[in-house]
Amino acid sequence: MLYSPKKLFLFFLLCIMLIVNYNKNGFVTAANSIGLNYGLLGDNLPSPSNVINLYKSIDITKIRIFDPNTEVLNALRGHRDIAVTVGVRDQDLAALAASEEAVKGWFATNIEPYLSDVNIAFITVGNEVIPGPIGSHVLPVMQSLTNLVKSRNLPISISTVVAMWNLEQSYPPSAGMFTSQAREQLVPVLKLLSQTNTPILVNIYPYFSYASDPSSIPLDYATFNTEAIVVQDGPLGYSNMFDSIFDAFVWAMEKEGVKDLPMVVSETGWPSAGNGNFTTPDIAGTYNRNFVKHIASGKGTPKKPNKGIDGFLFATFNENQKPAGTEQNFGLYNPSDMKPIYKLF
């Protein structure tokens, strides 16, 4: 029997909610902890209005878009139950870093028209550009946007999205430390975020670590599919790679004097095709299901126990204009018929 995307995802979320544990922060449910990335690099994607209807039908209340796409933002008008993270395009950073007036103009064009009826929760300045040749532009743009939203008393958080290549060392997690370029470009950003208690957004992909060294990394460890301790780091035991990577970043921040800064997982996922037996619908489904269970449990990580984690799965659809291979196959849904790539439960 074939099930609709709505029935499959609702059943999925219902099952997750039934296993939720209570912690000191209260109940954490899949519906209010898991968001979806909405990428647009495809020529066969559904209309934004249909995509928003899909999100509402499966109780998704957080999405992330990579630029201030007018069609998507217009489709979100009136749907204030969906919190949106909007990205500043990497190619715009240099011009915006040059002056606060440029930032004000960008905001007036891309954000201001939607404030009354779109729930814009975050603006992210650049996507994985730190460390790198344009990474130095992130801090001044963040400062200008932070000043702007503060002067307007707007409930919009300003941050950036970073990848794990900021880590020079990540194993064991307690040895986590940043590269020299990350210390130069990222640490000032982290200290700005600490002043406003705004989360840093991090992309965590156990898939890439596993695919690069499958003989050394157990698949069950990479996909949350074992309770057995695989990595013992002093008193802390790790049964999944996600927690290990997450905590390595926490340790690296602490070594730079940045403590207790919240982290949001802006991307994680597993491709369902593109790299042979490493990327099957079964493995992708296992990882994504178990990630949602892990977040919904509210148990946090070994270094940060009982601390809820916000996370976004990557991505809503397979996108055929991305580079061929795994990059085209991270979607939960086929764009042509909006049906799931695999059963979610």
Catalytically active residues, by annotation: 128, 267
> Which secondary structure element, helix H or strand E, spans residue 158, and what is its range?
strand 157-162
- Any idea which residue has 């640490």 for tokens? 187
Contact 306, 300 (CB under 8 A): yes
- SS3 (DSSP) at 306: coil
Instruction: Give backbone dihedrals phi and psi of 332, rounded to 5 degrees, phi first.
Output: -85, -25
> Which secondary structure element, helix H or strand E, spans residue 248, and what is its range?
helix 241-255
DSSP for residue 307: -
Q: Where are the alpha helices (DSSP H) in 19-161?
A: 30-33, 48-57, 70-75, 93-97, 100-110, 138-151
In angstroms, the Cα distances linking 37 to 62, 179, 297, 331 are 9, 28, 21, 9
- SS3 (DSSP) at 305: strand
